[in-house]
Amino acid sequence: MFDRLRTARGILRSLRIYYGNRTRRAAMDRLYGRFVQRGDLVFDIGAHVGDRIAAFRRLGARVVAAEPQPALATLLRWMYRRDVVIEPVAVGAREGTIALKINVANPTVSTASDAFVDAARDADGWREQAWSKTEQVPVTTLDALIARHGVPVFIKIDVEGFEADALAGLTQAVPALSFEFTTIQRDVALACIARCAALGFARFNAALGESQVLEHGDWIGADAIARWVDALPHAANSGDIYAAR
């Protein structure tokens, strides 16, 4: 019961943060409007409370959202029950099951990555986080989602240190995607950049934190975005890298 109350409080906190800022919402629409047009198919991998789903829907896109946390998947089904496909699964390199480490008080940083939890344990800004619950969840791949739903024009990936695993399950071309990175796991970001380059993505950009503002006026190559990630101060904390063809 106590865990359920803490989870509900964490979800309510996320809803206030991610849905309560009109300026951020407008910036998000401008950013995703670079990639998405009305009628396009989009994948939201690691949907959390669905603020990106909301942006994609405002742009008129069709959305398939993957979210393995049962409480959040239930919330998303209720919020977007009319026109969004909710897949209650993690996304990784291969199909199966995996142990999801759940942060009961702050479900936005729940993760399938043991390395992410280890990296956070002694890192400034992360020490207060606790992953106190583990739940077995199903895993699918991006290729399997494409086989079921079609090829998206854009894939957003935000899975707390499991991004490289998610990209390992993609073997076919899509026009553009984004993945979250953190400064406590730069190696994951670099692995994702290398994977994107191997998949044929040639242009890269980035947005820090929740700014929704691209850092580079001119899109840059894989080597340049990797050097940019390496040079970031630890305090930059996190952001999203965008890859396009």
pLDDT tens by residue, 23-62: 989 999 999 999 999 999 999 999 999 999 999 999 999 9
pLDDT at residue number 242: 98
Which pTM value belongs to this model?
0.94
Find all residues with CB under 8 Å of 87, minimum gap 6, and list them: 64, 65, 66, 67, 140, 145
Q: Per the structure block, which two tokens stand in for 36?
A: 């998405």
3-state secondary structure of 36: coil
Lowest mean per-residue pLDDT among 18-22, 72-76, 152-156, 177-181: 18-22
pLDDT at residue number 3: 66
Question: What span, in angstroms and rounded, lies between the C-alpha atoms of 36 and 73?
Answer: 24
106, pLDDT greater than 80: yes
194, pLDDT greater than 90: yes
> Are the CB atoms for 190 and 179 separated by under 8 Å?
no
Closest CA to 35 of 54, 59, 57: 59
Question: What span, in angstroms and rounded, lies between the C-alpha atoms of 215 and 44?
Answer: 22
> Are the CB atoms for 33 and 59 separated by under 8 Å?
yes
pLDDT at residue number 14: 75
Q: Which domains does the chain have, with CATH numbers?
A: 2-244 (3.40.50.150)
Question: What span, in angstroms and rounded, lies between the C-alpha atoms of 24 and 59?
Answer: 15
